[in-house]
Amino acid sequence: MTTIVFVLLSYLIGSISFAVVTSKLFGLPDPRTFGSKNPGATNVLRTGKKAAAALTLLGDAAKGWLAVWLAVRYAADFGLDDYAIAACALAVFLGHVYPVFFGFYGGKGVATALGILVALNGWLGLALLATWLAATLIWRISSLSALLAAICAPLYGWFLLPSKTLFGAALALSILLIWRHQSNIRNLLSGRESAIGKGN
């Protein structure tokens, strides 16, 4: 029962869409109605409000971190094992992708996944952030950076995560992220994917 409570809480935390909330605070249009229609930091950036995009990025990462940190922090107190922590990691990610508060229409989960992985292992999070930043600086294509980081997540996780269960969670997140980027992959292959700050 305790595990179910933590998993449900993680899902609800993940269901807070910072792209939508931040856009309302800044008086911006709903990110689900323009550009890529993806409620994430990259689409919010298309409004030209860098502060709103930054808050979206930080908020989405923070909620992923918070849900997993809570599970790890109180694991001993409530008897949560690695399977419960892995379930919380997946639940907060699925909350972001399918948020109950926003009609189950959410973002692709890049920032949230990063926050989750930082909570699982700080060095893993830093390695993935470095990978994402390097790819962004080189190619200036947000989706490509995200895909490269997603591919690297289980590779890094194999060495840095303390158990096979948590590695499995990282692998599952990687697969889900790649699956959520199907349209971007098609655009990349056809040369139609927009660079950051350009196009739709």
Is the predicted pLDDT of residue 70 greater than 60, yes or no?
A: yes
Residue 129 domain-assigned? yes
CA-CA distance, 49 to 44, in Å (whole number)?
7
Q: Is 8 contained in some domain?
A: yes
Predicted pLDDT of residue 1: 84
At 132-174, the pLDDT tens digits run: 999 999 999 999 999 999 999 999 999 999 999 999 999 999 9
Report pTM.
Answer: 0.95
> What's the whole-number mean pLDDT along residues 29-35?
94
CB of 110 closer than 8 Å to CB of 149: yes
Q: What is the pLDDT of residues 39-51, one digit of tens each?
A: 999 999 999 999 9
Q: Would you state the pLDDT for residue 160?
A: 97
pLDDT at residue 200 is higher than 80:
no
Tell me how long the chain is.
200
Question: What does the pLDDT read at residue 164?
Answer: 97
- The closest alpha carbon to 194, from 153, 114, 140, belongs to 140
Q: How does pLDDT run across 79-91, given as a tens digit for each residue?
A: 999 999 999 999 9
pLDDT at 199 over 60: no
Q: Is the residue at 196 inside a domain? A: no
Of 120 and 197, the one with more pLDDT: 120
Q: What are phi and psi of 67, to 5 degrees?
A: -60, -45
* Domain ranges, residue 158: 2-190
As for how many domains the chain has, the answer is: 1
Q: Does residue 198 lie within any of the structural domains?
A: no
- State the angle between helix axes of 164-180 and 110-120 in degrees (0 to 180), rounded to the nearest 10: 170
Whether residue 197 is contained in a domain is answered as no
∠ CA 116-118-10, rounded to 5°: 25
| Main-chain phi, psi angles of 104, to 5 degrees | 60, 25
pLDDT score of 145:
96
Structural domain contains residue 50: yes
Compute the average pLDDT of residues 109-115: 97
DSSP string, 50-75: HHHHHHHHHHHHHHHHHHHHHHHHTH
Mean pLDDT of 19-24: 97
Cβ contact 64:111 at 8 Å: yes
What value does the mean pLDDT take over residues 116-143? Answer: 96
* Residue 118 resides in a domain: yes
Q: Determine, yes or no, domain membership for 199.
A: no
